[in-house]
Chain A
């Protein structure tokens, strides 16, 4: 089936540093989504990408939809302690456009 390979699996950074994570797949997707999950809560949508090559920002977050439609990356600039959490990429597939496949997640730890 469709699979999203997300890396890195975890990151330990100092406050103020920039962060980059990415997802790749052997399949082509028409939408890429990035979510953040805090402990004990559901994922919250950060950025949605709908067009190959699209670069979209949400505050200190920037995400890009790869031109091949097989990858996407998420950057976080000037990290702060509240950026801690698990970040997931996701892409819809299957017969239902909203049936999401998730990456394995990137656990981000920010040291003050």
Chain B
């Protein structure tokens, strides 16, 4: 079945540094990928929609200069948290949809970001 790989699974960084998270579709081409953020004991909150070869679409309230998204190929999307601060600490999860967008989304295993 469809597999989405997310890396790293955990990262600790110092305040002010940038962190890049990768999301790969391993056995299918993903024209669209989605980035979610999840706080403890809460649901997933969509941050942005990443389309291969075009600019990402950000949800209201999500700073595009803070959360840089690049979807340079059909199998890879990256999320870079720039100038991270402790309030950016969270669980970030990506998901991917195949061509046509009608197949159910499959999710990566998430990245636990801790900013000290």
Binding site for B on A (CB under 8 A): 31, 33, 35, 40-45, 48, 88, 90, 92, 96-105, 107
Q: How large is the interface on B (under 10, 10 to 19, 20 to 34, 35 or more residues)?
A: 20 to 34
Which of chain A's residues have a CB closer than 8 A to the CB of B32?
96, 98
The answer to whether A42 and B104 have CB atoms under 8 Å apart is no
Query: Do most interface residues of chain B lie in helix, strand or loop, or is the interface mixed?
Result: strand
The answer to whether B108 and A42 have CB atoms under 8 Å apart is yes
- How many A-B Cβ pairs are below 8 Å? 61
The answer to whether B43 and A102 have CB atoms under 8 Å apart is yes
The answer to whether A102 and B44 have CB atoms under 8 Å apart is yes
- Nearest-neighbour CB distance to chain A for B12, whole angstroms, equals 15
Which of chain B's residues have a CB closer than 8 A to the CB of A44?
107
Query: B residues 1-42 with Cβ under 8 Å of A?
Result: 4, 6, 32, 34, 41-42
Which of chain A's residues have a CB closer than 8 A to the CB of B93?
42-43
A88-B45 Cα distance, complex, nearest whole Å: 12
Which of chain A's residues have a CB closer than 8 A to the CB of B34?
98-100
A72-B101 Cα distance, complex, nearest whole Å: 21
The answer to whether A99 and B102 have CB atoms under 8 Å apart is no
A40-B110 Cα distance, complex, nearest whole Å: 7
Which of chain A's residues have a CB closer than 8 A to the CB of B82?
none
Which of chain B's residues have a CB closer than 8 A to the CB of A98?
32, 34, 95, 97, 101-103, 105
